[in-house]
């Protein structure tokens, strides 16, 4: 078989899974259109006392954590009813010095350990030893919660003993900083406005690693954070759902954070996520599909979320063989059938763009769709390439290293504290 014919055959073969996932994206997009915009009523306390809450902030060489601590200290929650535990794994002396500045507050604890074992998961497990709260609220170091955040995430939802996790929506501090942040924030807008709404409807919401609250006793019963996982939030969520507890999403409560602002940090973050969720599927697929705790819709949705990166190798292969078939084909005039074929393939594989259209519309940033289309064909291809590597590494049981995503906000924080320390 000649190269052109073989390339054309492989192109048509590998595009089939892409069309399958595209159809799923179309279904999710259409389903999202009919999902009502929930408006939670945030109840005010009556006679019952507020539960004691521990806010945990895991840090690794991120001075920007100072901004997060400052915002947490401003919560309009009874001061004697919450504490802030900073799980500091930093090796950078400036970061340590900045965090030590907050030891002067009675309800702030800076806890450190002599190892980075388990990375973020290990730091959070260590922080649990120093946490008095019945409810654990976690923020990544770059997050900026609002003044009313703590009250709104704790009540009235934790009145229900079956609710173990309450997850807020992520807002964005730097969505328009550059091309990378535009694409990274668009992907998360699609998730928080489309996928998570569907998961909320069928009771399969996952804790997203930051901006969420967890019952401490349920967390301990589940065995704590899995220090072997690179996406400890996904790993824990599956175990908590299996134990029969509910995890809910609050679309009207935001905690804003940063998205990666360099190509390398964006791709490494996505690669870690791809590896982590795929490894979670590999580790728990028997329990997902055969545990009586999950309904059929829950099994399907959890599988789609944790196995979603399987489409990445097909995107790469389809692109390669499509280009090869075009290069090796005999030159001839463009025919109507060629145009029809092109638009047919485009329509069948444009499910992601449909999902993006709905997600950005619900975020009131529909104008970004003109950017998302070319970005999906360029940055999206890079993302598929690293996602493919991560997918196969996870399925083959190969180790993947942890990578800290640099925080843009750390620059201004360092400058501020240099001036502050300089005065002393």
pLDDT tens profile 94-108: 999 999 999 999 999
What percentage of residues in the chain have a pLDDT greater than 70?
96
pLDDT at 208 over 80: yes
Give the model's pLDDT for residue 418. Answer: 82
Which among 252, 278, 273, 263 is positioned nearest to 184, based on CA atoms? 263
CA 407, 281, 252, 53 torsion: positive or negative? negative
What pLDDT shows up at residue 334?
83
**What whole-number distance in Å separates Cα of residue 312 and Cα of residue 234?**
20
User: End-to-end distance of the chain based on CA atoms, in angstroms?
Assistant: 78
pLDDT band at 120 (very low <50, low <70, confident <90, very high): very high
Q: What pLDDT was estimated at residue 40?
A: 54
Q: What's the confidence (pLDDT) of residue 37? A: 62
**103: buried, middle or exposed (CB in 10 Å: 19+, 13-18, 0-12)?**
exposed
Q: What is the mean pLDDT of residues 39-45?
A: 55
Token couple for 98: 């900045």
| pLDDT tops 80 at residue 177 | yes
SS3 labels along 333-392: CCCHHHHHHHHHHHHHCCHHHHHHHHHHHHCCCHHHHHHHHHHHHHHHHHHHHHHHHHHH
pLDDT band at 329 (very low <50, low <70, confident <90, very high): confident
CATH of 53-292 given 3.40.50.2300, 3.90.550.10, 3.30.1330.30, 3.30.420.40: 3.90.550.10
Q: What is the pTM of this model?
A: 0.93
CATH 3.90.550.10 residue ranges for the chain: 53-292
Q: How far apart are CA 58 and CA 54, in angstroms?
A: 13
* Pairing state between β 212-215 and 163-172: antiparallel
Task: Copy the structure tokens of residue 273.
Answer: 């996520």
Chain segment 362-386, per-residue pLDDT in tens: 999 999 999 999 999 999 999 999 9
Closest CA to 140 of 193, 176, 199, 86: 86
Per-chain mean pLDDT for the chain: 93
DSSP string, 48-85: SPPPPEEEEEEESS-TTHHHHHHHHHT-SS-GGGEEEE
Q: Does the pLDDT at position 48 exceed 90?
A: no
Average pLDDT over residues 20-26: 96
Q: Which residues contact 378 (CB under 8 A, 6 or more apart)?
A: none
* pLDDT band for position 43 (cuts 50, 70, 90): low
| Residue 237 predicted with pLDDT over 60 | yes
Mean pLDDT on 51-70:
96
């Amino acid at each position: 078989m000649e190269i052109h014919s073989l390339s054309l055959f492989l192109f048509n073969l590998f595009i089939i899974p892409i069309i399958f996932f595209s159809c799923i994206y179309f279904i999710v997009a259409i389903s999202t259109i009919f999902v009502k915009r929930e408006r939670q009523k945030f109840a005010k306390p009556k006679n019952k006392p507020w539960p004691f809450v521990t806010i945990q902030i895991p840090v690794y060489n991120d001075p920007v954590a100072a901004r997060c601590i400052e915002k947490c200290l401003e919560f309009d929650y009874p001061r004697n009813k919450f504490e802030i535990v900073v799980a500091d794994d930093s090796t950078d002396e400036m970061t340590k010095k900045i965090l030590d500045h907050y030891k002067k507050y009675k309800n702030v604890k800076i806890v450190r350990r002599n190892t980075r074992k388990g990375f973020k998961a290990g730091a959070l497990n260590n922080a649990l030893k120093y946490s008095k709260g019945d409810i654990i609220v976690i923020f990544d170091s770059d997050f900026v919660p609002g003044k009313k955040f703590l009250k709104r995430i704790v009540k009235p939802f934790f009145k229900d003993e079956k609710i173990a996790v309450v997850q807020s929506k992520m807002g964005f501090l730097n969505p328009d900083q550059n091309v990378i942040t535009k694409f990274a924030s668009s992907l998360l807008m699609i998730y928080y406005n489309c996928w998570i709404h569907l998961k909320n409807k069928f009771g399969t919401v996952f804790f997203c690693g930051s901006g969420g609250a967890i019952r401490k006793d349920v967390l301990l019963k589940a065995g704590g954070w899995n220090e072997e996982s690179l996406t400890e939030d996904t790993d824990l969520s599956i175990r908590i759902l299996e134990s029969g507890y509910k995890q809910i999403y609050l679309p009207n409560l935001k905690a804003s954070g940063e998205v990666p602002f360099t190509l390398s940090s964006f791709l490494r973050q996505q690669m870690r996520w791809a590896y982590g969720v795929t490894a979670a599927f590999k580790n728990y697929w028997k329990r997902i599909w055969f545990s009586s705790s999950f309904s059929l819709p829950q099994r399907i949705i959890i599988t789609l979320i944790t196995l979603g990166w399987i489409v990445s190798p097909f995107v790469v292969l389809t692109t390669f063989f499509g280009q090869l078939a075009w290069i090796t084909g005999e030159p001839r005039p463009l025919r109507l059938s060629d145009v029809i074929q092109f638009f047919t393939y485009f329509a069948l594989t444009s499910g992601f763009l449909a999902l993006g259209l709905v997600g950005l519309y619900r975020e009131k940033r529909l104008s970004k769709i003109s950017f998302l289309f070319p970005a999906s064909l360029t940055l999206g291809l890079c993302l598929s390439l690293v996602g493919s590597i991560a997918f196969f590494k996870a399925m083959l049981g190969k180790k993947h290293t942890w990578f800290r995503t640099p925080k843009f906000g750390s620059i201004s924080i360092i400058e501020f504290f240099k001036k502050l320390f300089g005065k002393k």
